[in-house]
Structure 1
Amino acid sequence: MIALFVGLRLYAVLGQRTGHEQRPVTRPEATPGAEPAPARPDVSAPAAEPSGLAFGEGAAGGIRAIIAADPGFDVARFLEGAQAAYRMVLEAFWKGDREELSRLTGDTVRDAFEAAIAEREAAGHKLDNRLVGIERALIDEARLNGRDAEIEVRFDAYVAAVTRDAEGNLVAGSLSDALPTNDIWTFRRNLDSGNPNWLLVETEDAA
């Protein structure tokens, strides 16, 4: 598994969309005569098996260029490491684990995450979120600029989100109802570097 040291430009993406700190997660009231809502995944179920599709058609040229420049690059291994990083960063942020975030992130994202955690602590809130599973991890784009490789990975996942107060009382959310979350994370690495780690340089909401 590739260990990834992670940097992030838009911490609010994780703090609001994926962290679900600011919006309650509630089950909608049933409307008479309405079609039933599609079932969400059981939070106790294991993560879905990844699709065999590793990258989109638009990324093929970039992947070929990266492999030509670095024959040791392995798409499957990269995606395995990217999924591990996705889970570790989210869980560390949700738990407020500053030490783990410091190990996984660069200075900018670490400072941003620590500020968000401090704000959460000041409000007396704790997150009890769970990454139910990553439904799909797909390389959406890939490019080689000189010796700098960049790979955009789309993550389609389900998160069960709960906010509690300092006494553990429920403020918002439900662990029995998972929400879909769709992110694109951009990883960068200089192929001449002796460090095999990819740096996460950007996140955005997937369309």
Structure 2
Amino acid sequence: MNKVYKFLGLPITIWLIIILFIVYIIELMNPSILNLIAFYPHYAIKYPWMFITSIFGDYDLSQLFFDGLALFFLGLLFEYLYGSRDLLILFFLSGIVGNIFFLIQYYNNPLVSGIGSSAAISGILGALGILRPKEKVIIFPIIIPIDMIYAAIFWAIFNLIGIFYPFIPLGFSAHLGGTLFGFLYGYILKKYKRKTSIDNIFDNQERIYL
């Protein structure tokens, strides 16, 4: 069942966006908090909370705006089609996988840090590309609506190129990791009879109690 959970009348997607804004306000009041929540690949194993906290931070208002805008459209679409539970699973795991890709690329550089929910949102884009390939979407820098699957593929290729030719300061590897996980998650949901929870993969498995 594609159940949408609401708190105070608002779906989970909106609450995720609200959390992004709250964290940004806290950052403005106390900029040093960025040192605690940002993802530092070189130190991530020692401080594992970075895999989660970095998903909810933003370096500046423009990053917050674009992350919030993308999450609003893609997150709400996914949530109302496949439910709040799968949205949360996809959002968090895409962000974590994105950080793992980022860690692989920059582990030996103690000066590099990253922050933002773009990898998590990239996962939603990737999943929708598999589940709703013909749905129209606008993706930067393309300003005309294109099919979701083409947008997801373009985004993956764009970030793959960016890993080797980082022409702007973006977490290309994190975006790519999130998108690839989204492809996988979308495939899982689609393959298993369009069930709405990844838990259903194990419905027909033999159960052995340990």
TM-score (norm 2): 0.31
More strand by proportion, 1 or 2?
1
> Which one has a bigger Cα radius of gyration?
1
Question: Which structure is richer in relative contact order (CA contacts within 8 A, separation 6 or more)?
Answer: 1
Q: Given the two structures, how large is their TM-score scaled by the length of structure 1?
A: 0.32
